[in-house]
């Protein structure tokens, strides 16, 4: 699990930085492709976490993030695409922070989960 979490964390960080630079250099067309690539990475990660039950306790930050993302995907066809265009970078940054916290806090100190 730890190796997969590290790959997830560093993959998210790398994609976020590389795709951000690519968007700045390439314009709006690159923005949509970047959202799809990074969103696909994070969605795959979320599915793996949900399937394995990793850090998915009730009312955990990851579970709340899963619900917010699910609601965003459901409401996308009814016009929330403009809102998601502006919110997505913040959601991606929050997801990276969430992965960092899981790897460097929770996995290093198992007693942290008992609080």
Percentage of the chain lying above the pLDDT 90 cut? 17
CB atoms within 10 A of CB 40: 11
pLDDT digits (tens, 9 = 90+) for 40-88: 998 898 888 888 877 777 778 888 888 888 887 787 777 667 777 788 8
């Amino acid at each position: 699990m730890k190796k997969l979490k590290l790959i997830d964390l560093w993959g998210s960080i790398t994609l976020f930085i590389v795709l951000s630079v690519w968007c700045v250099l390439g314009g709006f067309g690159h923005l949509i492709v970047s959202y799809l690539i990074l969103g696909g990475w994070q969605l795959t990660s979320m599915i793996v976490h949900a399937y394995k039950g990793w850090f998915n306790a009730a009312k955990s930050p990851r579970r709340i993030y899963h619900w917010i993302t699910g609601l965003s995907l459901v409401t996308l066809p009814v016009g929330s695409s403009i809102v998601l265009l502006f919110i997505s970078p913040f959601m991606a940054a929050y997801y990276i922070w969430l992965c960092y916290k899981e790897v460097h806090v929770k996995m290093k100190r198992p007693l942290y989960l008992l609080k």
